[in-house]
Structure 1
Amino acid sequence: MPKFTEKEKEHIRQSLLLKGKELFIKYGLAKTSIDDIILACGIGKGSFYKFYPSKEELYYEILKNEEEVRDTLLSELLRENLPPKELLASFFHTSFQLVEENPFLQRVFQDDDHERLVRKLPKQMIEELSKEDTERGIYAVNVLIGRGVLPKEDPQVIVGIMKAVMMMRFHKEKIGENVFPKVMEKIIEYVAEGLTKEK
C-alpha cells in the first residue's frame, strides 16, 4: 500500500468527501458502492480503507459537514432581533429551506438513507451523532431562553418539540406532497405560538 504525504492525504480526503457526496446525491447510500467512489477518486480500495472503514462512515462525515454549515446559518438567524413568535417561526422555515436547497440533506430523507445509516454505523457513532445534535439544540434553546424568546422550561423538552417538527420532513409523502407545505405552515405557526406564549 502506498505511503502518502500529509498533502496527498488531505487531497485524497477532500476528493473522497467531494466525489462521495456527488455519488450519494445521485444514487443514494444503498446504491453507491465503494468501487464507485474509488473509481471517481482514482484511488485503490486499500487507499479508501486507510481513510474510512466503510462507505457509511464516509457518508457520516459528509453529513456532519453539511449539518455544521446548516447550524452556522441557523446560529446567525438566532441573533436577529425579531419578536419571539416570528423568530421561532423563521427558525423552522429556514431549517426546512436549508434542507430543501441542499441536495445531500434532501437525500438523507429519501430512500431510507437515514435508516440505513443508523443501522450500519457503529453504535458509538450513532450515540455521538445523537448527543452532539441534542447538545447543539440545548445550547440554541438556552440562548433563546436567555433572550426571553422561549419560556424557562426544560430545554430538552423544547429540543424534543423542535426535533418532532423537523421530523415531519420524513412523512412528506404520507401527508401528501400537495398539502404538505400548508400542513407545515400551520404546525410551525401553532408550535411557535405555543412555545412563545406568555404563561
Structure 2
Amino acid sequence: MDIESRIFECGKDLFSAKGFKKTNIKEIAEHAGIGVGTFYNYYASKEQLFIEIYKQENKKLKNRLTKSLDLTQEPVHIISQLLKENQEAIHANPILKEWYNQDFYKELERHYRDEDSQSMDSVRDFYLSLLRKWKQQGMIREDVDEELLPVFFDSLVCIDMHKDEIGIEHFPKAMQYLIEFIITGLTKQQQN
C-alpha cells in the first residue's frame, strides 16, 4: 500500500473511532508509520483528509441508495425512501455522522457548495438531480424557482440537526410528514 493510501486508511480508522475533532495529525501519521511532515506532502490539513474520506463514504452511500430505489414510483415515495435510508445510513456511519457535527457541518457544507457540481457525487446531488429532472418533466410546480430546490433538502438536514429540541419521541413521524408535505407541495399542480 502506498503512503497516501496508508494515510487515508489510517485517517479513516481514527476518524471512525474517535471522531473528527478528537483525531489529530500526529496520531494519523503515527498510525500510518510516517512523520508529520510526510503527512503534509499528501494532505494540506486534517480537514482536507477528512473531506476526502467523507466524499468516498458519501459516494458509497449514494451508490447503495440509487441501487435500492425504484425510480418508477411516485416522487413522494421516492424522496421519502431516499431521505429515510440516508438518515439511517448516516447515523450508522461515524464518518458520515460528522455531517451533524455543528463544528464541522459548515466546513462540509461550504466544500459541497464550492465544489464543481459535475465532480460532486453525494446523496444531496442525487436528490437535486431527481428534483431537477422532475422539474424538466413538468412534475414540479412551475412557480418554484430551481434555485430553491437545494434549500428544501438543506432545511430537512437542519431540522434533523435539532431533533433533540423538537422532541426525539415525535421526531421520526414529524420528519416523515415534513418530507411528504414538501414533496407533495412541490409536485402539486398550482390551483387556479
CA contact (8 A) 2:16 2:94 kept: yes
**Which of 133, 139, 142 is residue 143 of structure 1 equivalent to?**
133
Q: 2:178 and 2:88 mapped to 1: Cα distance? A: 16
1:64 deviates by 1.6
Q: 2:83 and 2:108 mapped to 1: Cα distance? A: 24
| Counterparts in 2 of 1:144 and 1:94: CA distance versus 1, 3 Å | farther
Q: How does 1:96-175 map to 2 (within 5 A)?
A: 96-110=87-101, 112-115=103-106, 117=107, 125=111, 128-129=114-115, 132=120, 138-152=128-142, 153-175=144-166
Write out per-residue CA displacement over residues 106-135 of structure 1, whole angstroms, 9 at most, x where no aligned residue: 1331363324x469xxx8x57524865786
| Counterparts in 2 of 1:105 and 1:173: CA distance versus 1, 3 Å | same
2:114 maps to a residue whose letter is: E
1:48 deviates by 0.5
1:148 deviates by 4.9
Q: Which runs of 5+ in 1 are unaligned?
A: 1-7
Q: 2:127 and 2:172 mapped to 1: Cα distance? A: 24
CA contact (8 A) 1:38 1:48 kept: yes
Q: 2:77 and 2:104 mapped to 1: Cα distance? A: 33
**Which of 146, 154, 175 is residue 184 of structure 1 equivalent to?**
175
**TM-score (norm: length of structure 1):** 0.77
1:183 deviates by 1.9
More moved, 169-178 vs 48-57: 169-178
How many residue pairs align between the two structures?
A: 185
Q: 1:118 and 1:91 mapped to 2: Cα distance? A: 20
Q: 1:32 and 1:154 mapped to 2: Cα distance? A: 41
Q: 2:104 and 2:20 mapped to 1: Cα distance? A: 6
Give the superposed CA RMSD.
Answer: 2.9
Q: 1:126 and 1:101 mapped to 2: Cα distance? A: 22
Q: Which runs of 5+ in 2 are unaligned?
A: none
**TM-score (norm: length of structure 2):** 0.79
| Counterparts in 2 of 1:48 and 1:111: CA distance versus 1, 3 Å | same
1:67 deviates by 2.0
Q: 2:30 and 2:66 mapped to 1: Cα distance? A: 38
Match in the other structure for 1:3: none
Match in the other structure for 1:73: 64
